[in-house]
Amino acid sequence: MKKLTYFLGIGLIGMTFLLNSCSKDDAVGPDLTITSEEDLTAPANSLVTIEWRADAGDAKLEFFTIKEGNVAILDFDNIDWNNYQIPNDDNETFIGSATVMIGDENTAFTLIVTDKDGLTAEGMVNVTIDVGSTGNPIHEYTAVLMGAQTNTDNGSFLDAETGTVYKIGPAGTNQALIDIIYYYGISSGNEATFVNPNHPTVNNATANAFDWCTDWSVKNGTVFGVSSLTSGEFDAIDDDLLISGITGLSDNIIPQMSVNDVIAFETVNSKKGLIRVTNIVAGGDGSITINVKIQE
């Protein structure tokens, strides 16, 4: 009887090992679908948007990576896609997009989703450069000087479509033209700052706020985003090919700007543009100097 029990035990161990092996081998990994075009044709030095949907298999999703060649990319919203940690609320299904700048050669992007068991799924987006494409004209304004809140010489209010800077009085009588306001914050992390006229800090609605726009009847809701473009890439723009591809802007404030930062924006008139910071004089009586490129 003992011998029978012994052999029965071995049989059960073997069966357990077999079942475990089968279940591991049969594990269902994640699924990845490219929901944008998988084969794109785009102008050189322009923006392309990649969209996807990833669904979990047996294990929850954990990482997402996008590579151009062998290098993980930084997209237009400054998301680093080098093993990006998928948020907990998305780890069953991860739907996302990335807007990236391409150069002047054909390229390909590899998308990889990895689950918590280390299983992966991949997708590919191929981009062919359309050498014959040209964009529409843009307005360019250089050395635009805006003053901070106590600067008595230079205004803080910008009409981005004309490059005109207004002081507080004339701005109030031209409310519909004002797209961007500049001030220099007093707390760390809020120094050189752009806001739109509807932001609480210029409507006396936060601590240390200004009352500049409190009584305005028109408060344009310009939206912003920090661009990953370099100053050289900004300077090379001479039409709206790249600018027209700007998407996903949602911020109404851009704080703590630095020299050579490139800021994307879109006005309430659906005019998209880019700003490069060329100089900052610190303090409430200081100033900011910018170059502006905006669609005609």
In the prediction, which pLDDT does 11 show? 46
- Measured CA to CA, the distance from residue 252 to residue 265 in angstroms comes to 10
CB 158 within 8 A of CB 165: yes
> The domain 31-130 is classified under which CATH number: 2.60.40.10, 3.40.50.2300, 3.10.180.10, 3.40.50.1100?
2.60.40.10
In the prediction, which pLDDT does 22 show? 47
**What single-letter amino acid sits at 268?**
V
CB 256 within 8 A of CB 191: yes
Half-sphere exposure of residue 162, counting CA atoms within 13 Å on the CB side? 10
Q: Please, which residues bridge with residue 85 across strands?
A: 63
In the prediction, which pLDDT does 91 show? 92
- Measured CA to CA, the distance from residue 64 to residue 80 in angstroms comes to 10
Half-sphere exposure of residue 93, counting CA atoms within 13 Å on the CB side? 3
Model's pTM, two decimal places? 0.69
CB 94 within 8 A of CB 61: yes
In the prediction, which pLDDT does 9 show? 46
Q: Which segments of the chain are extended strands (E)?
A: 31-34, 39-43, 47-55, 61-68, 71-72, 84-85, 93-101, 107-115, 120-130, 138-147, 157-159, 164-166, 180-184, 192-195, 223-226, 253-254, 262-266, 272-281, 287-295
pLDDT tens per residue, the chain (296 residues)? 444 444 444 444 444 444 454 445 689 999 999 999 999 998 888 889 999 999 999 999 999 999 999 999 998 888 999 999 999 999 999 999 999 989 888 999 999 999 999 999 999 999 998 877 778 999 999 999 999 999 999 999 999 999 999 999 999 999 999 999 999 998 877 899 999 999 999 999 887 789 999 999 999 999 999 998 999 999 999 999 889 989 889 999 999 999 999 999 999 999 999 999 999 999 999 999 999 999 99
In the prediction, which pLDDT does 216 show? 97
Domain boundaries, the chain: 31-130, 138-295
How many CB atoms sit inside 10 A of residue 10's CB? 10
In the prediction, which pLDDT does 24 show? 52
In the prediction, which pLDDT does 223 show? 98
Helix (H), strand (E) at residue 37: none
How many CB atoms sit inside 10 A of residue 99's CB? 19
In the prediction, which pLDDT does 275 show? 98
Which of 206, 225, 212 shows the shortest CA–CA distance to 183? 212
